[in-house]
Chain A
């Protein structure tokens, strides 16, 4: 066995996995507040990247202005989704809210397609693609940057959930009826989680947009993100980060060794196997609350 190859695959797997985590954090934020897996997180990520491009390319703003501005726009947009589409579904079966998020995803894909077309657009964050070797291992700078952003967001949200506002959100996640009864505005809390998830979507969209270009395929990140979120436990941000790393390593190392035997395609099979096995053996994921099982 080539240990250097194994190490390189594992290291790059960790970095790619953290990019999945970056996406999954958005899913976890909404789940924590409303107990609904947000199927429109892929659409939000894609829309976030398009908004950055609209501000930077179409309006000529520098990227360092466009990105925070896009985060503000998407925060308001996320809050708006909750206000307009989801608030009226309060008390309805979870499946209806789930279908609504699916509808929002389709709406976002259709709208971005109508406005910006189907051709891929590039994002240039100014990251060099010159080879970067750490010892014998080649590392991707953009993946390194993305991983750093994922860890930074993780730290920010850990700290946020210790603030007064964060504690309110945690209370809503614990028991929204009890939160209501003590005067916490559950609607605002859920709205805030949508706004925060939309900010996460901008950061994920812009990093993934730099890697693969901005087009409709960005919304497909939902499948990876959902797998990571389920594996980590849908309500655990730490779980999302760790699950991303685990999935990234298994996927990268596993597919490199399996593909030659099965003729390719093992990457998606590995992802599917992780998702199915998690749901079968540990439905609450690695760090999720066990009462999710009962729901």
Chain B
């Protein structure tokens, strides 16, 4: 046997081995989630919790073999709630090969959305941005999995209807809201439902940042609504709770938007907050299996991605919910189309999600090419002095009314 007869097979084996290894390495390309968040200005009451949840979930997924062997990578950047910085963050991460984004800010999301649509990159947009983006036929790359504010408000009305014996004919419902687009968004739906169900709708705008509610609650005391639905943020709930007490309005008739967390409860006072209601699509508390797992796996060993106090906050659960959906979508995408993950396969992955509730963490979502919101289910929870107790099952009501508004709005959208 000549030297060539010995060397060539050896070289071939080596080259083949290397090629296999390279193919495997290519197969195991990291799945990268770009989190361009406001870590320094308006959204700081939620963004650290969501970012920490995403990092914990990525770490947990990687410790358990990744998604079909692909590691998950979470890249966090600050955009300070400035649209231009959000666009810069998007462009920079896009150049680095990221195609899964979340901006967790309505103005920034709205600024980036047309670019992402044009580029064919995925934007996770739960709880922020345009409500009509759940229309998958128009916003094909946008995935606002979770309820829109329109759907949340409609579900709140359905809850009140149930509480009032199934008839809202003689009911009076108050709506206290921050007088800017976030707070104003549900008004049209509420007006439509007021006409449909025959209840009297009373509107109580409060100026930003929600600290001055005295005259609104003076009116509420005099109008005596049966329930007050609240679209106020953070410290605004604390002010509202004090005004409720001062004006003798029962706190168990105050139904808050999902943005009411443990920090607010602590600021109101755990006992003083007893009875307060919250509409949500995410189960609160630390007894939720996935949250429990994070606490036991990481925080009990001092290996969490941040302070444990942030885990004991419903916005951490919200973050886990958002990224559980993202990871489930990636898993389904790889299962269906194999590696490497592409924006197209990820889109298919999202649109294949069916009855997914992240093991009891959130309302079951079914995402379809038509409905990128996943169904819009929420439930109402009540603070009992120490924890949140669900009062209803997950449900989505008045979906016909809500989708009429969604279609009307989305039909006006075009990407230039």
Residues on A lying within 8 angstroms of B by beta carbon are 2, 5, 8-9, 12, 16, 110, 113, 117-122, 129-132, 138, 140-143, 208, 211-213, 215-217, 220, 252, 255-256, 259-260, 263-265, 267-268
Q: How far is the CA of A22 from the CA of B368 in the complex (A)?
A: 56
Q: Would you give 18 A-B contacts (Cβ < 8 Å), ordered by A?
A: A9-B215, A16-B214, A113-B40, A118-B44, A119-B44, A120-B264, A129-B242, A130-B245, A130-B246, A131-B247, A138-B247, A141-B246, A213-B238, A213-B267, A217-B235, A220-B208, A256-B219, A264-B179
Per-residue interface assignment for chain B, residues 193 to 234, with 1 indicating a CB less than 8 Å from any chain A CB and 0 otherwise? 000000000010101111110110011011000000000001
Q: How far is the CA of A271 from the CA of B43 in the complex (A)?
A: 26
Q: Is B267 touching A113 in the complex (CB atoms < 8 A)?
A: no
A8 CB to nearest B CB, Å = 6
Q: How far is the CA of A220 from the CA of B247 in the complex (A)?
A: 26
Q: Which of B209, B210, B235, B246 contacts A140 (CB 8 A)?
A: B246
* A113-B44, A131-B248 known; A208-B211 Cβ under 8 A: yes
A257 CB to nearest B CB, Å = 10
Q: Is B211 touching A252 in the complex (CB atoms < 8 A)?
A: no
| Residue in chain B with minimal CB distance to A129 | B245
| Residue in chain A with minimal CB distance to B313 | A119
Residues on B lying within 8 angstroms of A by beta carbon are 40-41, 43-45, 48, 177, 179, 184, 203, 205, 207-212, 214-215, 218-219, 221-222, 234-235, 238-239, 242, 245-248, 263-264, 266-268
Q: Return chain A residues, CB-CB under 8 Å to B41.
A: 216
Q: How far is the CA of A252 from the CA of B215 in the complex (A)?
A: 6
Q: Is B45 touching A268 in the complex (CB atoms < 8 A)?
A: no
Q: Which of A138, A141, A211, A220 contacts B239 (CB 8 A)?
A: A211
Q: How far is the CA of A126 from the CA of B264 in the complex (A)?
A: 18
* A12-B215, A12-B218, A217-B211 known; A212-B247 Cβ under 8 A: no
| Residue in chain B with minimal CB distance to A8 | B218
A169 CB to nearest B CB, Å = 32
> 4 tightest CB-CB pairs across the interface, nearest first?
A118-B44, A264-B205, A212-B211, A213-B235
Q: How far is the CA of A208 from the CA of B247 in the complex (A)?
A: 19
Q: How far is the CA of A131 from the CA of B218 in the complex (A)?
A: 12
- List 18 additional A-B contacts (Cβ < 8 Å) besides A110-B40, A138-B246, A140-B214: A2-B222, A5-B222, A9-B218, A12-B215, A16-B212, A16-B214, A119-B45, A120-B267, A122-B267, A129-B242, A143-B214, A212-B209, A215-B235, A220-B208, A255-B215, A256-B218, A256-B219, A268-B208
Q: Point out which of A129, A213, A256, A268 has the most chain B C-beta atoms below 10 A from its C-beta.
A: A213
Q: How far is the CA of A110 from the CA of B39 in the complex (A)?
A: 11
| Residue in chain B with minimal CB distance to A130 | B245
Q: Point out which of A118, A140, A141 has the most chain B C-beta atoms below 10 A from its C-beta.
A: A118
Q: Which of B40, B242, B248 contacts A211 (CB 8 A)?
A: B242
Q: Return chain A residues, CB-CB under 8 Å to B264.
A: 120
Q: Return chain B residues, CB-CB under 8 Å to A119.
A: 44-45, 234, 263
Q: Return chain A residues, CB-CB under 8 Å to B179.
A: 264-265, 267-268
Q: How far is the CA of A113 from the CA of B246 in the complex (A)?
A: 31
B315 CB to nearest A CB, Å = 10
| Residue in chain B with minimal CB distance to A217 | B209
Q: Is B221 touching A138 in the complex (CB atoms < 8 A)?
A: yes
Q: Return chain A residues, CB-CB under 8 Å to B40.
A: 110, 113
Q: How far is the CA of A260 from the CA of B205 in the complex (A)?
A: 9
Q: Return chain A residues, CB-CB under 8 Å to B43.
A: 118
A2 CB to nearest B CB, Å = 8
B343 CB to nearest A CB, Å = 32
Q: Which of B44, B212, B266, B268 contacts A117 (CB 8 A)?
A: B44
Q: Return chain A residues, CB-CB under 8 Å to B212.
A: 16, 267
Q: Return chain A residues, CB-CB under 8 Å to B219.
A: 256
B78 CB to nearest A CB, Å = 11
Q: Which of A5, A110, A122, A252 contacts B266 (CB 8 A)?
A: A122
| Residue in chain A with minimal CB distance to B203 | A264
Q: Is B45 touching A118 in the complex (CB atoms < 8 A)?
A: yes
Q: How far is the CA of A14 from the CA of B266 in the complex (A)?
A: 30
Q: Is B215 touching A256 in the complex (CB atoms < 8 A)?
A: yes
B246 CB to nearest A CB, Å = 5
* A119-B263, A121-B267, A131-B248 known; A212-B239 Cβ under 8 A: yes
Q: Return chain A residues, CB-CB under 8 Å to B205.
A: 259, 263-265
| Residue in chain A with minimal CB distance to B272 | A129
Q: How far is the CA of A220 from the CA of B211 in the complex (A)?
A: 11
Q: Return chain B residues, CB-CB under 8 Å to A8.
A: 218
Q: Is A212 touching B214 in the complex (CB atoms < 8 A)?
A: no
Q: How far is the CA of A217 from the CA of B232 in the complex (A)?
A: 14
Q: How far is the CA of A113 from the CA of B44 in the complex (A)?
A: 9
Q: How far is the CA of A129 from the CA of B244 in the complex (A)?
A: 9
Q: Is B214 touching A12 in the complex (CB atoms < 8 A)?
A: yes
Q: Return chain B residues, CB-CB under 8 Å to A252.
A: 214-215
Q: Return chain B residues, CB-CB under 8 Å to A141.
A: 246
| Residue in chain B with minimal CB distance to A139 | B246
Q: How far is the CA of A77 from the CA of B132 in the complex (A)?
A: 50
Q: Return chain A residues, CB-CB under 8 Å to B234.
A: 119-120, 213, 215
* A12-B218, A117-B44, A140-B214 known; A129-B263 Cβ under 8 A: no
Q: Point out which of A120, A255, A263 has the most chain B C-beta atoms below 10 A from its C-beta.
A: A120
* A8-B218, A143-B214, A255-B215 known; A212-B245 Cβ under 8 A: no
